[in-house]
Amino acid sequence: MTATPLPGGRLAAEIKAQVAALAEDWRRSGRQAVLAVVVATADESTLWYVRSLVAAADKTGIDCRLVDLGATATEPEIARHLDDLSADPQVHGILLQTPLPPGIAAARLVERIVPSKDVDGANPSSLGRLLVGQQAFAPATARAVVELLDYHQIPLAGRHMAVVGRSAVVGKPLLHLLLHRDATVTICHSASKPLARFTRPADIVAVAVGRPGLITADHIAPDTVVVDVGTNVAEDGRLVGDVDPDTVAPVAAGLTPVPGGVGSVTTALLLLHTLDAARASFARDAVAIS
Amino acid sequence: MTATPLPGGRLAAEIKAQVAALAEDWRRSGRQAVLAVVVATADESTLWYVRSLVAAADKTGIDCRLVDLGATATEPEIARHLDDLSADPQVHGILLQTPLPPGIAAARLVERIVPSKDVDGANPSSLGRLLVGQQAFAPATARAVVELLDYHQIPLAGRHMAVVGRSAVVGKPLLHLLLHRDATVTICHSASKPLARFTRPADIVAVAVGRPGLITADHIAPDTVVVDVGTNVAEDGRLVGDVDPDTVAPVAAGLTPVPGGVGSVTTALLLLHTLDAARASFARDAVAIS
């Protein structure tokens, strides 16, 4: 048996088409959804990703404004830009791209992104609202895992899901999204030993650690569905996940590819969240005017 | 073998003694820590609990102010009181006691408790900060579970912990406290079937559901430590937990009693949190004056 591939390309295209249709409607009536991306790094792979985001936004009719503060930006400088963007009625979504210059923690800065524009769910307030089940933008990567499983009709309610990785960007918010969907969730991390003890009994394993080849055939059972959230640049420049597809694909029931899996859906969801933020903003404007 | 009892009384007394010593020091220099408890119910067992909290605060030298709005209080009325208390420099801790009058959701109201006074970690902002690992008050019951295990020298790092119950008040915040302590956590709920599939493999099982007798000998392995967070009033008026002690105690390695377990520590921690909030407030005053 070979794992059924669970690609994200078509789902991403469908989400983008939905975004593009509404953005086009808005444009005809003079309204424009705007996403601001704050960047403060010279890291080439980050800049490559940001340029691809700008291009994707452009294709869907969302104005993606790159606020490039350079690799020598200071914390007060970044903070001021986030405050300004939070207050700017023309901007609907704000993304603070990591990495930041050495010594500057994203954790403090993301609190300056007003929750209504926090399209990547980075502000602890957004995460707290997600935890209690109130309206909030989920981190796009975490939501992409759930959307991709839904798209491939893999049920979550009553299933046992192991999440490997406890970051505030993926693992923890994913855990809460899965709880809202009635999955039983085990969250594993570097102190979970042996890791296979926790991943083998699970129906679905989602891995978001950032270590190539972490998950091998030993970690999964024959009927496991595996979602690879890792995006690592290998020595030869290829993009690879946290799963070793050579050993896992022959055993697992399903496997999301890297690239072309969760990552492609993530970008599409960032644009969808920006659209949702713009829609809410336009609705508020309409109420204020009437 | 019979489970080692894991009572909370001594730990609660130690915490209260620590609170009392500092409160007494402050009183000599004219400073007083104040906890405000907002109540809007005629429910007898709730009023009984609140009176016991006031008495416990009194004994430790914390001024616990009961703001009793009555069972007919409206949402705007409760909201206004929470706003006033959040702004009042004389008040250091705020607790919104549930249940509230029919149709009034605590979820909306707790957002009005400023995080620096949110001594029971009810505001989603507090929960979000807890999730990302920033300074915040944890819900006292969730913290009580961790403190009680620490007190009885039951290690958490690298252990597998099953949390039964996914409330925003206990289960979910407890999960994050355990993750910060390097436990691997499985969170179970009403859709986790059969429940024993998830609780039997765990080293420690914490139950916070509110259903007497939910956990029996079938749910645990012989070396399991069981923490009973349930507080249910039985038909005969006795306080009982979620664990059936008659079948579990002969099998488990350890078991927290109800009453006299987690609950007693919870009250002590609420007072400790109020003290911590007052300390931070006094420190801010000192900075403002100097």
Is the separation of the CB atoms in A147 and A269 below 8 Å?
A: yes
Count of beta carbons in the 10 Å neighbourhood of residue A70? 11
Query: Quick check: is A126 in a domain?
Result: no
- How many Å apart are CA B231 and CA B209, to the nearest integer? 9
- B29-37 mean pLDDT: 96
The answer to the question of whether A247 is labelled as a binding residue is: no
- A211-233 mean pLDDT: 96
Supply the mean pLDDT for chain A. Answer: 96
- Cβ of B182 within 8 Å of Cβ of A191? The answer is yes
Supply the mean pLDDT for chain B. Answer: 96
Residue B290: the pLDDT is 62
Let me know whether B74 and B164 are in one domain: no
- How many Å apart are CA B78 and CA B76, to the nearest integer? 6
- A93-122 mean pLDDT: 96
B174: helix, coil or strand?
A: helix
Let me know whether A89 and A165 are in one domain: no
Q: What is the CA radius of gyration of chain A?
A: 19
Residue B284: the pLDDT is 87
The answer to the question of whether A231 is labelled as a binding residue is: yes
B39 Cβ contact partners less than 8 Å away, ≥ 6 residues apart: B46, B47, B50, B66, B67, B68, B69, B97
Residue B1: the pLDDT is 67
pLDDT over 80 at B193, yes or no:
yes
- How many Å apart are CA A168 and CA A163, to the nearest integer? 13
Q: Which residue range forms the structural domain that includes residue A206?
A: 140-263
Cα dihedral A241, A245, A251, A252 sign: positive
Q: Which two tokens stand for residue A79?
A: 């903070």
pLDDT over 90 at A285, yes or no:
no
Indicate the residue among B67, B96, B114 that finishes a domain: B114
pLDDT over 80 at A282, yes or no:
yes
- B151-161 mean pLDDT: 98
- Cβ of B128 within 8 Å of Cβ of A125? The answer is yes
- Cβ of B158 within 8 Å of Cβ of A188? The answer is no
pLDDT over 70 at B211, yes or no:
yes
CA proximity to B135, closest of B26, B278, B280, B267: B280
pLDDT over 70 at A117, yes or no:
yes
Query: Quick check: is B2 in a domain?
Result: no
Query: Quick check: is B254 in a domain?
Result: yes
Let me know whether B102 and B155 are in one domain: no
- Label residues B206-216 b or e (16+ Cβ within 10 Å = b): bbbbeebbbbe
pLDDT over 80 at B162, yes or no:
yes
Let me know whether A187 and A106 are in one domain: no
Residues of B in contact with A182 (CB under 8 A): 189, 191
pLDDT over 80 at A289, yes or no:
no
Query: Quick check: is A5 in a domain?
Result: no
Residue B135: the pLDDT is 94
Let me know whether A107 and A202 are in one domain: no
Residue A44: the pLDDT is 87
For residue B176, the chain A residue with the least C-alpha distance is A172
Is the separation of the CB atoms in B82 and B94 below 8 Å?
A: yes
Let me know whether B86 and B192 are in one domain: no
Indicate the residue among B63, B97, B114 that finishes a domain: B114
Crossing angle of helices A44-60 and A9-28, rounded to 10°: 60
Give the tens place of pLDDT for each residue, A21-51: 999 999 999 999 999 999 999 998 899 889 9
A45 vs B52 pLDDT, higher one:
B52
Residue B169 sits at the chain A interface (C-beta within 8 Å): no
- How many Å apart are CA B275 and CA B281, to the nearest integer? 10
Q: Which residue in this structure is represented by tokens 């309409």?
A: A286
CATH of the domain at A73: 3.40.50.10860
pLDDT over 70 at A290, yes or no:
no
A141: helix, coil or strand?
A: helix
Task: Determine what percent of chain B is predicted with pLDDT higher than 70.
Answer: 99
Residue type (1 letter), A166: R
Let me know whether A86 and A38 are in one domain: yes
The ipTM value here is: 0.95
Count of the separate structural domains present in chain A: 2
CA proximity to A267, closest of A97, A149, A134: A97
- Lowest-pLDDT range of A2-11, A203-212, A229-238: A229-238
